[in-house]
Structure 1
Amino acid sequence: MRWALVRVCLAVTVMVVVAFAVPLGLVVKEMASDRAFSNAERQAAAIGPTLSITTDREQLSRAMLSTDAGLAGRMALHIPADDEASELEIGRGRAVHDELDAIRELGRSGILKVLGGSALLAPIALDSGTISIVEVYVPDADVTNGVTTAWIVLAGVGIALVVGSVAVADRLGVRLTQPAERLAGAAHELGEGMLGVRVPEDGPTELRQAAAAFNSMADQVVQLLANERELAADLSHRLRTPLTVLRLNAASDTARRQAPRTGTPPSSGQGAEQSTRVTRPLPGRHRWPACGAFSSAAPAHPSALPYGAAAGVCRGA
């Protein structure tokens, strides 16, 4: 359950990070591009006041050099010919004439893809009624400036979130699984006969309820076993007295059955033993008890005769 919780938390966190990091990375890239082209538009607009005053090459060159793009050689001016002057090109241009004419007809700024980057073309109206074009070159490095760093930061934040969520999920899993493991271990110990085992009632509500139910069950098992032991002891005690009575009755019955053979009813087992000893004949001869007559013949044993008959035999001898 612990690792299942960790996997679930990991999957959810990764989905959340991807859902936020990917769009945010695209937004960062778009913001970097907008920043680069906005800077190019500001530098192109800085030439507008000079173009509205003069079209002199030297003055326009000095105005271009006052900008960052002009100093870097990324700005160009395209002034068309009119009745008083011929066409004027200042700086290194990267756009072709057809593209310049399209921007003049469109009447608003445009961005063209050129070799190694992009070109911002900004139209500016002159006093003569013609439209000049200010071209600012924006390399790809400026368009993606800071994007890689931002993506690395986003990736690091995402990884940190994933690792942190996994760590938190692991701690939560330990908190959830430890009571369950204790409950399972206590159940095994109770099954092995350790009746004194109990489970501490901690953890989530469900596990606390399960621990309380287990402890109650263990108490009931102990109570039932104690009741069974008491019942077994009581049953043994109850059976001991009737068995003793039966044994005494059996001995008494045996003595009563042997009493007619001796002439004196015995009162105990010793009387029965004595009667048996008196009626035992001597070896080689037969002597009747209570008389001194001996005979080599073997008459019937007096025990086979009634009590009075045996006495008469002795008197007759």
Structure 2
Amino acid sequence: MRRRLIQSTLAVVLVVIAVFGVSLVIVETRTISNSAQERVDSEALRLASIVDSRILGDENITAEILRSQVGENQYAVIRMSGRPPIELGTRPEGDVIRSSADGEEGEGVTVEEPRSSVTREVGRTLLIIGAVALLAVVAAVLLAVRQANRLASPLTDLAETAERLGSGDPRPRHKRYGVPELDRVADVLDSSAERIARMLTAERRLAADASHQLRTPLTALSMRLEEITLTDDPDTVKDEANVALTQVERLTDVVERLLTNARDPRTGSAVSFDLDEVIQQQLAEWRPAYRSAGRAIVSSGKRHLQAVGTPGAVAQVLAALIENSLMHGGGTVALRTRVTGNQSVVEVTDEGPGVPADLGARIFERTISGRNSTGIGLAVARDLAEADGGRLELLQAQPPVFGLFLSRTPPLRKQQGDDDAPMVR
């Protein structure tokens, strides 16, 4: 591209120089020739007037007296009646510029000048024009190179940016070039880079959340299936199979919830539900795991509380807290329910060492973990709680107490006839 820009600019300059240069040479040549002819004509008239004045004054007219009146490169002949011609200067050879003039006393004056003087002057003019044209070409080349670099370098940068986007590097460059059209392209590429970065972040977050959130239901389902394989009692098999089916339904709800949050985290399906049912469900699912670890999980507090949220999401939040206590806590895990203001609160606590002081303020950040774990369980739990208008907080670090706050106010329902009302845009 640089070469094409330089070539096109140089071609335009050469055409302009050719058109205007040739015209200028023709005009200057004619001007110099006309000026030389006018000079010779003027010299002939001047010399004739001098001769007239000397004749009228009865003064001598000789070559010695008139020699100083003729220029260095000029030749003059004065013819008077009854006298021999008077020659002044050296007669030029070759082509000459000639002019004749007649005086009032009948004398004739002829002045000649070699045309070589005109040729030399034309040559000097052509040399000057050629030098100016050469400088114009050099300046045009330098300007073309500068302009080509100014245009080609940004295009190269933009191509590299597009290539980086295609290779999966969505970092915006925020680089501008002072050319409105190129800056517009850079703006579009930076905007695309930011959108791609957000999409990649969302995809990675979905993958991490899915791997973490699906692990707990799958582990519980695996334990139920193991219970079925270890018993021959049909009633036990039936009970465990029913529990397994319930866990499959929860697993399906987890998947749907993750996909919904990936599309739009603000999309909620909050309803009023019985909090005891969700808590008892979690106790039943986690007791086998706690028995295997030699620990217990219990519930206490106010019963028959109503809460507003998505039951599946609340179950996932409680499962994350219970699993967190199983992995990092110790002793008995207790789920306590209480009421504060217009909110139902579920507190999850254990008898373990608690949350380290250096992690207390960052415990809900992704990748923050006190041990070798993914570090996203509590972050996902907080996101799920906030999606339906609740909140998850660390109420106490030692011993650890996590509080899940859920509204007790049922969601507003549309009044009768709202569906028939026209939509206002």
Deviation at 1:187, TM superposition (A): 2.1
- Which secondary structure state, in structure 1, belongs to the residue aligned with residue 170 of structure 2? coil
Which structure shows the bigger proportion of residues in helix conformation? 1
CA positional deviation for 1:205: 0.8
Residue 87 of structure 2 aligns with which residue? 91
Q: Helix, strand or coil: the match of 2:176? A: coil
Match of 1:25 in 2: 25
Q: Which protein, 1 or 2, shows the higher relative CO under an 8 Å CA cutoff with sep ≥ 6?
A: 1
Aligned to 2:78: 77
Matched, 1:46 2:42: no
After superposition, the Cα gap between the structure-2 partners of 1:52 and 1:67, relative to the gap in structure 1 and judged at 3 Å, is closer
Match of 2:139 in 1: 164
Cα distance, 1:241 vs. partner?
3.8
Task: State the alpha-carbon separation in 2 of the partners of residues 215 and 72 from structure 1.
Answer: 76
Report the AA paired with residue 143 of structure 1.
V
Aligned to 2:204: 229
Query: What is the distance in 2 between the residues matched to 1:137 and 1:150?
Result: 23
TM-aligned CA distance change 1:47 to 1:243, over 3 Å: closer
> Is the contact made by 1:61 and 1:90 (CA closer than 8 Å) also made in structure 2?
yes
**Larger Rg over CA atoms:** 1
1:158-183 CA-to-partner distances (Å, cap 9, x unmatched) read: 11111112212222222222222222
Given that residues 28 and 150 in structure 1 are in contact (C-alpha distance below 8 angstroms), is that contact kept between their aligned partners in structure 2?
yes
Q: TM-score if structure 1 supplies the norm length?
A: 0.61
**Equivalent residue in structure 2 for 1:122, among 78, 89, 100:** 100
- The separation in 2 between residues aligned to 1:5 and 1:149, in whole angstroms, is 34
Q: CA deviation at 1:238?
A: 4.3
Q: How far off its partner does 1:201 sit?
A: 2.5
Q: C-alpha separation between the residues in 1 aligned to 2:53 and 2:201?
A: 111
The separation in 2 between residues aligned to 1:135 and 1:259, in whole angstroms, is 146
Provide TM-score, normalisation by structure 2.
0.47
8 Å contact 1:73–1:91 — kept in the other structure? Answer: no
User: What residue number does 2:159 align with?
Assistant: 184
For residues 150 and 73 of structure 2, the distance between their equivalents in structure 1, rounded to whole angstroms, comes to 63
Q: Deviations over 1:116-171 (max 9, x none)?
A: 122424241554xxx65422222122222422222212111111111112212222
Inter-CA distance 29–53: structure 2 relative to 1 (3 Å threshold): same
In the alignment, the residues of structure 2 paired with residue 154 and residue 187 of structure 1 have an alpha-carbon distance, to the nearest angstrom, of 48
Code of the residue aligned with 1:76 in structure 2: it is V
CA contact (8 A) 1:182 1:199 kept: no
- Map 1:1-317 → 2, pairs under 5 A: 1-49=1-49, 50-51=51-52, 54=55, 59=61, 61-62=63-64, 64-69=66-71, 74-78=75-79, 85=82, 89-91=85-87, 116-124=94-102, 126-127=104-105, 132-196=107-171, 198-257=173-232
The 1:154/1:229 distance shift into structure 2, 3 A limit, reads: same
Following superposition, which runs of at least 4 residues in structure 1 exceed 4 angstroms of deviation? 51-56
Tell whether the 8 Å contact from 2:48 to 2:101 is kept in structure 1 after alignment: no
Whether the aligned pair in 2 keeps the contact of 1:77 and 1:135 (CA below 8 Å) is yes
Q: CA deviation at 1:115?
A: 5.8
The answer to whether the Cα contact below 8 Å between 1:179 and 1:203 also exists between their aligned partners in 2 is: no
Work out whether residues 64 and 75 of structure 1, in 8 Å CA contact, stay in contact via their aligned partners in 2. Answer: no
> Is contact 2:74–2:113 with CA below 8 Å preserved after alignment?
no
Q: Percent identity?
A: 28
Q: Is the 2:78–2:87 Cα contact (8 Å) retained in structure 1?
A: yes
Contact 1:179 1:207 survives alignment (8 Å): yes
Which range moves more in the overlay, 7-16 or 147-156? 7-16
What's the secondary structure of 2:175's corresponding residue? coil
CA contact (8 A) 1:33 1:143 kept: yes
Residues 206 and 258 (structure 1 numbering): CA distance in 2 closer, same or farther, change over 3 Å? Answer: same
Equivalenced residues, count: 234
**Residue identity opposite 2:78 in structure 1:** L
Cα 1:170–1:19 change in 2 (3 A) is same
Are the equivalent residues in 2 in contact too, given 1:28–1:147 (CA < 8 A)?
Answer: yes
| Aligned residues: CA RMSD | 3.6
* Residues 202, 61 of structure 1: alpha-carbon distance in 2 compared, 3 angstrom cutoff: closer
Alpha-carbon shift at residue 54 of structure 1 (Å): 4.2
What does residue 297 of structure 1 align with?
A: none
5+ residue gaps, structure 2, are 236-287, 289-425
